[in-house]
């Protein structure tokens, strides 16, 4: 995906921020639709920076609001109108979706969005997140919910939560949660970005840079030893997809 210069201004935001809507006027390569698990630490911009470091240009966009589900995005309308602007991949995300009712809603609104996405000539993808630290035992159910949603629409699965688990198997003390026990730390977002970047561009995340310069000059720097563990974990999660 080597398509021109990005015509976006991505916003750095934290979990408690207000609504976030950042899009390109004419679409682009990857649109992210989600909530604060997408915009915390500016995941789309990390993905773009990883791609750029490997010689690829990704035009990315984001429609994300705090605490929103895919049902909220469907009813809100902005995500659907943005999808119609033209993208190659649309990444969908809601909460962990480990409970039966939330799984049902994830699958239902993934199906609805997939119709819009494919009508616009794009491919749907599911950004599979993690449960909160307080509900750590829900990991299996959360991963299964996103796998089922991806299978329902023949979409691309982006197993970020499984990358976290693979990283913890190697280094149990890694701080992937932010202090609130739900949102990702910078390292947690970096792990998710590695999975997404590697899946989108069909390449290994191993060897990716541990320091990224984001638009606007912000720098994300992950300890090289930690970055190596996260890269291996992302590769393992993708292989197990």
- pLDDT, one tens digit per residue, over 177-193 is 999 999 999 999 999 99
Which residues sit opposite 241 in a β-bridge? none
pLDDT of residue 5: 25
Gap between the Cα atoms of 78 and 74, Å rounded: 8
Residue 223, judged by CB atoms within 10 A of its CB (0-12, 13-18, 19+), counts as exposed
Largest CA distance in the chain: 44
pLDDT of residue 27: 75
Measured CA distances, 172 to 88, 102, 166, 226, 234 (Å) = 36, 29, 10, 12, 15
pTM: 0.90
pLDDT of residue 215: 86
- The string of pLDDT tens digits covering residues 28-47 is 899 999 999 999 999 999 99
pLDDT of residue 187: 98
3-state secondary structure 123-179: EEEEECCCCCHHHHHHHHHHHHHHHHHHHHCCCEEECHHHHHHHHHHHCCCCCCECC
Q: Torsion angle of alpha carbons 95, 182, 229, 193, nearest 10°?
A: 50
pLDDT of residue 47: 97
Q: Would you say 229 and 172 are in contact if contact means Cβ atoms under 8 Å apart?
A: no
What does each of the 241 residues of the chain score in pLDDT, given as a tens digit? 322 222 233 333 333 344 355 445 567 899 999 999 999 999 999 999 999 999 999 999 999 999 999 999 999 989 999 999 999 999 999 999 999 999 999 999 999 999 999 999 999 999 999 999 999 999 999 999 999 999 999 999 999 999 999 999 999 999 999 999 999 999 999 999 999 999 999 999 999 999 999 988 999 999 999 999 999 999 999 999 6
Residue 117, judged by CB atoms within 10 A of its CB (0-12, 13-18, 19+), counts as buried
pLDDT of residue 77: 83
All domains of the chain in start order, with CATH = 20-239 (3.40.50.1110)
SS3 84: coil
Give the residue from 12, 117, 3 showing the smallest Cα distance to 51: 3
pLDDT of residue 10: 35
């Amino acid at each position: 995906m080597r398509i021109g210069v990005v015509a976006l201004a991505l916003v750095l935001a934290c979990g408690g921020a207000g609504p976030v809507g950042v899009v390109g006027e004419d679409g682009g390569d990857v649109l992210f639709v989600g909530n604060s698990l997408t915009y915390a630490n500016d995941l789309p911009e990390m993905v773009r920076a990883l791609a750029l470091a490997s010689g690829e240009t990704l035009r990315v966009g984001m429609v994300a609001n705090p605490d929103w589900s895919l049902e909220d995005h469907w009813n809100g309308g902005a995500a659907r109108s943005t999808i119609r602007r033209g993208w190659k991949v649309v990444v969908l995300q809601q909460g962990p979706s480990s409970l039966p009712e939330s799984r049902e809603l994830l699958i239902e609104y993934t199906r609805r969005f997939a119709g819009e996405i494919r009508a616009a000539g794009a491919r749907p993808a599911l950004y599979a997140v993690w449960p909160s630290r307080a509900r750590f035992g829900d990991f299996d159910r959360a991963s299964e919910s996103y796998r089922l949603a991806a299978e329902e629409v023949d979409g691309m699965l982006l197993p970020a939560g499984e990358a976290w688990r693979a990283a913890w198997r190697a280094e149990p003390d890694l701080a992937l949660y932010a202090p609130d026990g739900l949102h990702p730390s910078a390292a947690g977002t970096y792990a998710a970005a590695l999975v997404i970047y590697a899946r989108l561009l069909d390449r290994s995340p191993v060897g990716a840079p541990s320091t990224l310069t984001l638009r606007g000059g912000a720098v994300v720097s992950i300890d090289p030893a930690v970055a190596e563990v996260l890269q291996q974990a992302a590769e393992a999660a993708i292989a197990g997809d």
